[in-house]
Amino acid sequence: MPNQPDIKNKSSFSDLGLSDSILKVLDSIGYETPSPIQQECITHLLNGHDIIGQAQTGTGKTAAFALPLLDKIDISNKHIQILILTPTRELAIQVSEAVQTYARGMNGFHVLPIYGGQSYDVQLRPLKRGVHAVVGTPGRVMDHIKKGTLKLDGLASFVLDEADEMLKMGFIDDIKWIMERIPETRQIALFSATMPTAIKNVAENFLNKPKIVKIKTKTETATNINQKYWLVGGVHKLDALTRILEVTKFDAMIIFVRTKTLTSELAEKLSARGFSAEAINGDIQQSQREKIINGFKKGKIDILIATDVAARGLDVERISHVVNYDIPQDAESYVHRIGRTGRAGRYGEAILFVSHRERRMLKTIERVTRQAIEPIELPSAKMINEQRIESFKHKITETISNQDLSIFEKLVGEYINANDGADAMKIAAALALIAQGNEPLLLSEKEPKFISGQSETKEKIISTKAEPLKAHPQIPMRRYRIEVGSGSNIKPGNILGAIANEAEIDSEYIGSIQIFDNFSTIDLPDEMPHEVFTMLQKTVVAGKRINIIELTEKNNRALVGGNRKKKSFSKGKFARGGSSDRRSRKGPSDRDPTQRRRKPKFSRSKPKKSS
């Protein structure tokens, strides 16, 4: 076998020779630095070498082979160029989804998972059209090769993933049969946690002077850290986090997220909900970072939201809790994350948010760390309400004891004198309501179904292009994002009514409304005056500010499928101010023709006159 590779440590993916399109995708999904196996494998594969990667599941090996092999794809060539063998159907689907994600910047790229138990017809159609990569289980791959429906003439790269698992499942002869039928000139990457004799024989017979990458990972977690997980749908993560924060007594907490953008967004949302939270990420200047960390150490800040890279070197003894808001990409990162708590012999808590599709990574983390992670139940609405009531009463006592109330006592006294018979209890209740603002003090005790009845949440890229109005196609439109979605139990009529009333615009000039799990979109006439836009940002729908902003390619990734009912009204009765128009119950033919000519108040374009 060849010697170990001599590769200098690389601090970022950009140091490894990957293309700009791949690097852009990695940045968008929050991959900041390569894991050890990625660091070594990517360069070897880009240089055309065969490799043997000996590493545990959960070390980031999918990206280690997928990223460099994708970078070598010829999109114009519709023949299969990459074939990846996996031991199970579940892993085939997972790897296929990862490959598709990494290839976001490659227009026209297609990957197909093929496995037993699925209809051949479903697999044959895309194979006939042409795909660039196939991820499959040995048995079904063999079947397609025998039928002539999986042609490997143009294959450039072959990956054997979790080879030792395939050996255990009795696939070794199938693997050899398949490898005997791939072109002689090709690149092979073999990954295996262990190297039994049969796998060594495969490597010696089929690989050409392979580079060996052997990774030992830190997998031990401290016994004084209590680890828990919660199975969550993406749309409910913020609400779940808020519940946990409200009932958990913690000294200081660090929350890990995947992207720099999310650090700022989450810090802003938690601050709006009354928590002392700040974000640190790679875009924050060093002076600002030091100021935030110093405040965190001194107890001026309770919650820090960070990415893995931004939290490097952070050693704060008062961190009692770590929350993995986004699951890490590998088990080693998980160990590093939760190691921020339980310092100096203290007791620590670690909470992991896990979506349905991430359950395999949860099992991997448990297996690699050799420690079971127990599920937790969210605090009930009743528990939250009891906590809020207690906190409300405590604030009253604290304010009476520690604040100068003389001015307000004078004002309340004047109000009572001016309003004969005014009830002091009602005055106090009114003032409490004013202080509370738009957010209700108590939650509804009719519990939402966070998991039951949910389908799998998926990410969807929403078009930023607004649809023209049917009645007034000459009016330029712009698409906006508003921060309420199906998780807030809204209907299109709620959005339509709020926008129409606040902007004082007739509903026939309000375009398409689409409701997704985590936000909604609305098409409005272009060139909106600043004062109208500012007013709309403060508009409240279903008890939440909509915070309207333009929909761009940076904020157009929606979550769909997390709720049983997906709501999309781009073509529905609310989309064009039709028969369900709350401002006019007349049909199109009965409407006043002068109204049809009226232009929206913030559009500078003149509507086409009726003939």
d(CA 116, CA 137) in angstroms, rounded, equals 8
What is the share, in percent, of the chain residues with pLDDT greater than 90? Answer: 34
Q: Which two tokens stand for residue 302?
A: 């309770």
Statement to judge: residues 283 and 409 lie in one domain: no
More confident residue, 209 or 474: 209
On the CB side of 225, CA atoms within 13 Å amount to 29
Statement to judge: residues 118 and 189 lie in one domain: yes
Q: 346, 375, 404 — which closes off a domain?
A: 375
Instruction: Give strand pairing partners of 557.
Output: 461
What is the share, in percent, of the chain residues with pLDDT greater than 70? Answer: 84
Lowest mean pLDDT: which of 102-111, 128-137, 523-532? 523-532
Over 80: is that where the pLDDT of 456 sits?
A: no
Burial grade of 467 (CB within 10 A; 0-12, 13-18, 19 or more):
middle
Lowest mean pLDDT: which of 21-30, 306-315, 602-611? 602-611
Burial grade of 4 (CB within 10 A; 0-12, 13-18, 19 or more):
exposed
Over 90: is that where the pLDDT of 274 sits?
A: no
Question: pLDDT confidence of 490, banded at 50, 70, 90?
Answer: confident
Q: Which two tokens stand for residue 411?
A: 């004002």
Summary mean pLDDT of the chain: 81
- Which tens digit of pLDDT belongs to each residue from 595-604? 444 455 554 3
Statement to judge: residues 360 and 343 lie in one domain: yes
Please state the separation of Cα 274 from the chain's center in Å: 23
Over 70: is that where the pLDDT of 587 sits?
A: no
User: Which pLDDT does position 438 carry in this prediction?
Assistant: 72
Place of tokens 């709501």: 567
d(CA 24, CA 608) in angstroms, rounded, equals 43
Statement to judge: residues 158 and 238 lie in one domain: no
| 8 A C-beta contact, residue 38 and residue 63 | yes
Q: Which two tokens stand for residue 215?
A: 């990774």
Phi, then psi, of 393 in degrees rounded to 5:
-65, -40
Lowest mean pLDDT: which of 58-62, 99-103, 280-284, 513-517? 58-62
Phi, then psi, of 56 in degrees rounded to 5:
-70, 155
- Which tens digit of pLDDT belongs to each residue from 13-46? 989 999 999 999 998 887 878 888 899 999 999 9
Q: What is the DSSP letter of 396?
A: H
| 8 A C-beta contact, residue 102 and residue 109 | no
Lowest mean pLDDT: which of 73-87, 518-532, 564-578? 564-578
Q: Kindly state whether residue 6 falls inside one of the protein's structural domains.
A: no
Statement to judge: residues 292 and 314 lie in one domain: yes
Over 60: is that where the pLDDT of 56 sits?
A: yes
Report the SS3 class of residue 352.
Answer: strand
Question: Please, which residues have CB within 8 angstroms of residue 125's CB and are 6 or more apart in sequence?
Answer: none
Question: pLDDT confidence of 309, banded at 50, 70, 90?
Answer: confident
**Nearest 5°: CA angle at 256, between 254 and 261?**
115
More confident residue, 456 or 408: 408
Question: pLDDT confidence of 308, banded at 50, 70, 90?
Answer: confident
Q: Which two tokens stand for residue 184?
A: 């002689």
Report the SS3 class of residue 340.
Answer: coil
Mean pLDDT of 149-161: 94
Q: What is the DSSP letter of 13?
A: G
Q: Kindly state whether residue 481 falls inside one of the protein's structural domains.
A: yes
Q: Which two tokens stand for residue 218?
A: 């830190």
Angle between helices 406-418 and 424-436 (to 10 degrees): 120
- Which tens digit of pLDDT belongs to each residue from 200-229? 999 999 999 999 998 776 666 677 888 999
Q: What is the DSSP letter of 391?
A: H
**Strands, E, within 75-233: which ranges?**
82-85, 111-114, 133-136, 157-160, 187-192, 211-214, 225-231
Q: Kindly state whether residue 170 falls inside one of the protein's structural domains.
A: yes
State how beta strands 82-85 and 133-136 pair.
parallel
For residue 495, give the CATH number of its domain: 3.30.70.330
Element (H, E) at 544: strand 544-545
Q: Kindly state whether residue 442 falls inside one of the protein's structural domains.
A: no
Q: 214, 239, 263 — which closes off a domain?
A: 214
CA distances for 268 relative to 29, 134, 243, 262, angstroms: 20, 42, 17, 10
Q: Kindly state whether residue 606 falls inside one of the protein's structural domains.
A: no
Over 60: is that where the pLDDT of 448 sits?
A: no
Q: Kindly state whether residue 319 falls inside one of the protein's structural domains.
A: yes
Q: 155, 183, 214 — which closes off a domain?
A: 214
Q: Which amino acid is at 304?
A: L
Statement to judge: residues 463 and 503 lie in one domain: yes
Statement to judge: residues 355 and 405 lie in one domain: no
Mean pLDDT of 373-388: 78
Q: Which two tokens stand for residue 60?
A: 């980031």
Q: Kindly state whether residue 449 falls inside one of the protein's structural domains.
A: no
Over 80: is that where the pLDDT of 198 sits?
A: yes
User: Which pLDDT does position 570 carry in this prediction?
Assistant: 42
Closest-CA residue to 80 (of 36, 168, 141): 141
pTM (two decimals): 0.52
Question: Please, which residues have CB within 8 angstroms of residue 547's CB and are 6 or more apart in sequence?
Answer: 482, 483, 537
The C-alpha R_g of the chain, in whole angstroms, comes to 29
Statement to judge: residues 534 and 553 lie in one domain: yes
| 8 A C-beta contact, residue 158 and residue 181 | no
Q: Kindly state whether residue 448 falls inside one of the protein's structural domains.
A: no
Statement to judge: residues 240 and 210 lie in one domain: no
Statement to judge: residues 502 and 548 lie in one domain: yes
Mean pLDDT of 550-573: 63
d(CA 203, CA 189) in angstroms, rounded, equals 10
Statement to judge: residues 184 and 243 lie in one domain: no
Question: Please, which residues have CB within 8 angstroms of residue 537's CB and are 6 or more apart in sequence?
Answer: 545, 546, 547, 548, 549
Question: Please, which residues have CB within 8 angstroms of residue 515's CB and are 6 or more apart in sequence?
Answer: 485, 486, 490, 492, 495, 567, 568, 569
The DSSP result for 30-93, as a single string, is T--S--HHHHHHHHHHHTT--EEEE--TTSSHHHHHHHHHHHT--TT--S--EEEE-SSHHHHH
Q: What is the DSSP letter of 162?
A: S
Q: Which two tokens stand for residue 542?
A: 């279903």
For the chain, the domain total comes to 4
Instruction: Give strand pairing partners of 480.
Output: 522, 550
Lowest mean pLDDT: which of 49-53, 223-227, 343-347? 343-347
Determine the structural domain holding residue 400 and report its residue range. Answer: 381-436
Statement to judge: residues 193 and 243 lie in one domain: no
d(CA 563, CA 458) in angstroms, rounded, equals 11
User: Which pLDDT does position 592 carry in this prediction?
Assistant: 44
d(CA 575, CA 580) in angstroms, rounded, equals 10
- Which tens digit of pLDDT belongs to each residue from 492-534? 888 888 888 777 777 788 889 999 888 899 998 887 777 788 8
Report the SS3 class of residue 208.
Answer: coil
Report the SS3 class of residue 348.
Answer: strand
Element (H, E) at 295: helix 286-298
Which string of b and e fits 362-398 if b means at least 16 CB within 10 Å?
Answer: bebbbebbeeebeeeebbebeebbeebeeeeeeeeee
Closest-CA residue to 97 (of 365, 451, 360): 360
For residue 314, give the CATH number of its domain: 3.40.50.300
